[in-house]
Amino acid sequence: MKAKSEYITLLRKYMAENASVTILFSALTRIATQHIFAA
């Protein structure tokens, strides 16, 4: 799970620097998370 937490940290850092895409990324992340846990 370490890799996942590092990914989340990088994603948050990216989103903080690019606020205009935060909504899009949160939507994509939610969809991806549902697919990961459904698989």
- Residue 12, domain extent: 2-38
Alpha-carbon span 13 to 21, nearest angstrom: 12
What's residue 13's pLDDT? 85
CB 15 within 8 A of CB 25: yes
**Global pTM value:** 0.39
What's residue 1's pLDDT? 63
Query: Phi/psi class of residue 15: alpha, beta or left (left: φ > 0; alpha: ψ in -120 to 50)?
Result: alpha
Number of domains making up the chain: 1
Residues 6+ apart with CB under 8 A from 22: 15
What's residue 31's pLDDT? 92
pLDDT lower than 50: segments of the chain: none
What's residue 16's pLDDT? 78
